[in-house]
Amino acid sequence: MLYTEVKYMPERSKTFLGSPSVVRLEDGSLVASHDYFYAESDGFDDGLMRMCSVYRSEDDGASWQNCSQLIGAFWSSLFLYEGALYMLGCDRRYGSIVIRRSDDGGFSWTFPLDADRGLLFQGGKAAEPPNYHCAPTPVLVHEGRIYRAYEDNVTALWPSGFQAFVISAEVGSDLLKASSWTMSNKVPFDPTRVPSDWGETGPGFLEGNMVAGPDGQLWNILRMSTEPHSDYAAMVKVSADGRELSFDYDRDIIRLPGGTHKFTIRRDPVSGLYFTLGNNNTVPGKASQRNVLSLAASRDLREWKILKPMIVDESGLSQEDSLRLTGFQYADWQFDGDDIIALVRTAWRGAVRFHDSNRITYHQFKNFRRLCAGMEI
């Protein structure tokens, strides 16, 4: 497995690494971020899960330097907008929706003190709703608006209590001002509309991806937890103004490789195809499997083809131990010329379990378009 290690945490720290995000700046340097989380059994309060580290690479990912530490940043996405670097996420686990801007490539950042400086939507106190949730999924710019998917865990139940929604702003507006942003309606998941064996806690809406279909229709494509079954996702329709979401249970539940876990979907500007990196299931009945990360492609967002496993466990563990201890998960990635660059939340060689990742790793997948020859639109 070829990778560059951005961050490592030893097992004895009882601290795990999450929410990787990566972007290449206009000057060619790379910026990466991740946050930290803890075992729920250790009894940590949600308010403690709110620290983020930022890194830069000046040598195309061969080495990384920690350039900033942020307090009050969690589950955040990095993106570029009008020449500046932004970070959009929450201020803590199930907290407020906040945004930051960096004008010097990730070294220094604004702080979301109030509604004029990046505090977009206030979360509830402790476990009181709204309990905002997200992951490092794409910030979409389309037809004059910027969109980002979120969820509200209104009942504090995972995942059935999560309601899907979208925030959006006009291109050209000041993204640090709360007045620039609107929030859609919130769509709860109705477990009575799906098979009764889809998860002991019921499926729900998780970690949505904003994407525009081939016809320009906007979709929020969300992860679905359907254990013991795998690889399903939900396509929630989004209005052009970002204010109305709707979901058709009969038509818009799709088979998506890796749909059981967090994924990122982006459209390739060269081929017109959609790509995703996700944890597709290869061991029937093991829906929690995250020890394979595969690249898949689609022409229309509904029919997906697995192109190739991009990362597999080469540690020599038995299948049982690999499923228990290894995870290549929560990949955030970008098109980078002929290649894909990715930052991965990795549990490997010394992790307590597959979920509790001990590494953040950087990967380059060369000449990825050769894998989808003949699929071009």
The residue type of 14 is: K
88 pairs with which residues across the strands? 77, 99
On whether residue 8 sits in a domain, the answer given is no
- Nearest residue to 240 via CA among 170, 315, 322, 164: 170
What is the per-residue pLDDT across 347-358, written as a single tens digit (0 to 9) for each?
A: 999 999 999 999
Q: What is the pLDDT of residue 42?
A: 61
What is the per-residue pLDDT across 206-262, written as a single tens digit (0 to 9) for each?
A: 999 999 999 999 999 999 999 899 999 999 999 999 999 999 999 999 999 999 999
- Nearest residue to 95 via CA among 140, 48, 54, 52: 48
On whether residue 23 sits in a domain, the answer given is no
70 pairs with which residues across the strands? 52
238 pairs with which residues across the strands? 218, 245
- pLDDT of 115 strictly over 60: yes
Question: Do residues 139 and 148 touch, judged by C-beta distance below 8 A?
Answer: yes
pLDDT-derived band at 319, boundaries 50, 70, 90: very high
Q: What is the pLDDT of residue 41?
A: 57
State the Cα–Cα distance between residues 177 and 98, nearest whole angstrom. Answer: 10
On whether residue 37 sits in a domain, the answer given is no
The answer to whether the Cα torsion of 273, 279, 283, 284 is positive or negative is negative
- The DSSP 8-state label assigned to residue 191 in this structure reads G
Report which of residues 1 and 262 the model is more confident about: 262
Q: Long-range contacts of range 36-41, CB-CB < 8 Å, 24 or more positions apart?
A: 37/93, 38/14, 39/14, 39/352, 39/356
Q: Residue 155 in 3-state DSSP?
A: coil
Q: Enter the pTM of the model.
A: 0.96
Question: Do residues 136 and 76 touch, judged by C-beta distance below 8 A?
Answer: yes
Distance, CA of 269 to chain centre = 20
Q: What is the pLDDT of residue 366?
A: 98
Instruction: Please state, as a whole number, how many other Cβ atoms lie within 10 Å of the Cβ of residue 159.
Output: 22
- pLDDT of 128 strictly over 70: yes
On whether residue 221 sits in a domain, the answer given is yes
pLDDT-derived band at 44, boundaries 50, 70, 90: low
- pLDDT of 202 strictly over 80: no
On whether residue 13 sits in a domain, the answer given is no
What is the per-residue pLDDT across 150-200, written as a single tens digit (0 to 9) for each?
A: 999 998 778 888 999 999 999 999 999 999 999 999 999 998 999 988 876
On whether residue 234 sits in a domain, the answer given is yes
Q: What is the pLDDT of residue 233?
A: 98
What is the per-residue pLDDT across 49-85, written as a single tens digit (0 to 9) for each?
A: 899 999 999 999 999 999 999 999 999 999 999 999 9
pLDDT-derived band at 39, boundaries 50, 70, 90: confident
- Mean pLDDT along residues 31-48: 79
Q: What is the pLDDT of residue 190?
A: 92
Residue 211: give the domain boundaries: 44-51+74-345+363-372
State the Cα–Cα distance between residues 208 and 238, nearest whole angstrom. Answer: 12
For 209-239, give one letter per residue: b (16+ CB within 10 A) or e.
bbbbbeeeebbbbbbbbbbebbbbbbbbbbe
Q: What is the pLDDT of residue 43?
A: 61
- pLDDT of 40 strictly over 90: no
On whether residue 56 sits in a domain, the answer given is no
pLDDT-derived band at 45, boundaries 50, 70, 90: low
State the Cα–Cα distance between residues 177 and 311, nearest whole angstrom. Answer: 40
On whether residue 15 sits in a domain, the answer given is no
Question: Do residues 229 and 242 touch, judged by C-beta distance below 8 A?
Answer: no
Overall domain count for the chain: 1
Q: What is the pLDDT of residue 207?
A: 98
pLDDT-derived band at 127, boundaries 50, 70, 90: confident
Q: Tell me what the pLDDT averaged over the chain comes to.
A: 95
CATH number at residue 240: 2.120.10.10
